[in-house]
Chains A and B, each alone.
Chain A
Amino acid sequence: DTGVSQNPRHKITKRGQNVTFRCDPISEHNRLYWYRQTLGQGPEFLTYFQNEAQLEKSRLLSDRFSAERPKGSFSTLEIQRTEQGDSAMYLCAISFLAGGSGGELFFGEGSRLTVL
């Protein structure tokens, strides 16, 4: 148990549809991250939050991607007008340290998206 629950675990959608993924951290934490991972590659940074504030968003993230974290608890990642290139594993991670280095990341099991 990594302390991070992600839903749905698998999502198959048709190109052009919108999808939303949810991340529920089980334990208290400081920062929440979203990464994307494609086959044979390392996790790719998308965005991160400290409490409710979205502090950084990757330039690789197009306007079709949006993330929210209302009330500093769970987070959602929405992809609008999905494209086949969006097919990937979407990973949510949390960290605990308040200062200095970001601290170790605890990843959830991920949400796998397949766009047909």
Chain B
Amino acid sequence: QQPVQSPQAVILREGEDAVINCSSSKALYSVHWYRQKHGEAPVFLMILLKGGEQKGHDKISASFNEKKQQSSLYLTASQLSYSGTYFCGTEEDSSYKLIFGSGTRLLVRP
């Protein structure tokens, strides 16, 4: 079951914040977040395991609400380098298989 991401696209000014959401109808074991720039492979950002933890590095953090099967990615004080498409990938019951959402396109303008 493919997770649903929202919004589909976001346009920001440099320094603004953004939140990208990911939800699933299935019980999840983990949620991954990846960023893909045009013409490049997806690059891993972070993984959240069930337990409702929150993670972050630099100005990018994420949370996972296990009860609601939802995860959110928080981008604060956005930089031009944050532009790209963000995908959440969900894993059900330690299946080792990631199912990706359709992505959220983020454009950060000067």
Contact = CB atoms under 8 A, between A and B. Distances in A.
Nearest to B99: A45
B12 interface: no
B100 A104 contact: no
Interface stretch (B13-21, B55-63, B69-77, B89-97): B89-97
A42 B87 contact: yes
B96 A31 contact: yes
B97 A45 contact: yes
Interface residues of B, number: 25
A109 B40 CA distance: 6
Interface residues of A, number: 27
B82 interface: no
B30 A101 contact: yes
Interface in A73-116: 91, 95, 100-110
Interface string B24-41: 000001101010000011
A52 B87 CA distance: 29
B65 interface: no
A45 B2 CA distance: 10
A43 interface: yes
Given A91-B41, A101-B29, A107-B42, A45 B98 contact: yes
- Give the 8 A-B residue pairs with the shortest CB-CB distance, closest first: A42-B100, A107-B41, A102-B96, A104-B44, A101-B30, A42-B87, A43-B100, A42-B103
Interface of B: 2, 29-30, 32, 34, 40-44, 47, 49, 87, 89, 91, 94-103
